[in-house]
Amino acid sequence: MPKAPAQIVLLPASADAVAMVAAALQRSFSAAQLTMQGVGQVVVAVDPDDDSLPVLRRITENGGKAVLFGRPGPAVAAWAGLSVSALGPEESAWDRLHLDPAAAWDASSVRLLYPPDPLWRGAPPYAERPLWRFDFTDEWNNLGYGRIRTDGGPFALACLAEATADARVIAAIAESPWCYASLRDAADHSVLWVGRAVGPLDSQEWRLVERFIADWRAEDLACLPCLEDVPFGYDATVTMRLDCDQDISSARPLFDLYRE
């Protein structure tokens, strides 16, 4: 039998983030649905420059979707319904601003706001979250999201962005005019943007990408099957974590209890 064509096209780029994004897409949609060359119905691009706009348009025309991570070029930004600029000195210090260093937990004072939106197909995982939060020194976070930095790396905010009248804000940076994620819907395609080169792959907000590719506008745009964390027929999963200073064998009783 001929092999079915891949459905998600990840545009090649030199950024280290591309390999991480590829792994996250494979985790959610399988390696069989992902290609870095060829044709597909969904295109994913990391820091897409304006030279990539013809490819983005070609793949999304007639019912396709685009997922953009990081800082787009001016023409790509306009196509996505955005106006972008570089972080200034004030914004570059956002991930070092603390709420209360004397508190039992520590977090940045800069927060993301996630208003309700039908794209989530339910409530977003957080209505509000700081760029970073640690429950113990600079190590542990138990709330299911990663650190959003401002140091220029792949896990950092890539730019400042404002959504134009053509797009709506999916995630806003609190008490500022800037957004972190946006969605632009056109008659024959849809564009999701997240302002980080790796997107939200290290947090529960990755559900945003999964829902966009798998469910959004199912009546008129391409939708691809997504691998769910909880198998069909089960209500929940139980996991365990072994602390770094524990002997592995010490977790055996807990493992056996969960297995029962």
Tens of pLDDT, residues 149-193: 999 999 999 999 999 999 999 999 999 999 999 999 999 999 999
Q: For the segment 216-244, what is each residue's pLDDT rounded down to a tens digit?
A: 999 999 999 999 878 888 888 877 776 66
Provide the pLDDT for residue 106: 79
Q: For the segment 50-99, what is each residue's pLDDT rounded down to a tens digit?
A: 999 999 999 999 899 999 999 999 999 999 999 999 999 999 999 877 76
Nearest alpha carbon to residue 118 among 180, 42, 173, 190: 190
Catalogue the E-assigned strands of the chain.
Answer: 8-10, 34-35, 42-46, 64-69, 82-85, 106-107, 111-113, 128-130, 133-134, 160-163, 167-173, 179-185, 189-194
pTM value surpassing 0.75:
yes
Provide the pLDDT for residue 173: 96
138 confidence band (pLDDT: 50, 70, 90): low
Please write down the long-range contacts of 249-252, taking CB distance under 8 Å and 24 or more positions apart.
none
21 confidence band (pLDDT: 50, 70, 90): very high
Give the DSSP per-residue string, 169-219.
EEEEETTSS-EEEEEEE-SSEEEEEESBTTTTTTSGGGHHHHHHHHTTTTT
Q: Percent of the chain scored above 70 by pLDDT?
A: 91
Question: Hey, which residues does 259 pair with through a beta bridge?
Answer: none
Question: Hey, which residues does 113 pair with through a beta bridge?
Answer: 128, 172
Provide the pLDDT for residue 135: 75
Q: Percent of the chain scored above 90 by pLDDT?
A: 67
Provide the pLDDT for residue 39: 84
Nearest alpha carbon to residue 194 among 138, 154, 137, 222: 154
1 confidence band (pLDDT: 50, 70, 90): very low
- Asked if 238 contacts 79 with a C-beta cutoff of 8 angstroms, the reply is no
The burial of 118, by beta-carbon neighbours within 10 Å (0-12 exposed, 13-18 middle, 19 or more buried), is given as exposed
- Asked if 74 contacts 40 with a C-beta cutoff of 8 angstroms, the reply is no
**Spatial distance between the Cα atoms of 61 and 212, rounded to a whole number of angstroms:** 17
**Spatial distance between the Cα atoms of 71 and 40, rounded to a whole number of angstroms:** 23
Please give the single-letter amino acid code of residue 183.
L
Give mean pLDDT, residues 136-156: 83
Of 99 and 116, the one with more pLDDT:
116
- Asked if 137 contacts 128 with a C-beta cutoff of 8 angstroms, the reply is no
CA 174-177-183 angle, 5° bins: 90
2 confidence band (pLDDT: 50, 70, 90): very low
Provide the pLDDT for residue 246: 60
- Asked if 124 contacts 133 with a C-beta cutoff of 8 angstroms, the reply is no
The structure tokens listed for 190 are 């849809």
**Spatial distance between the Cα atoms of 186 and 188, rounded to a whole number of angstroms:** 6
- Asked if 168 contacts 190 with a C-beta cutoff of 8 angstroms, the reply is no
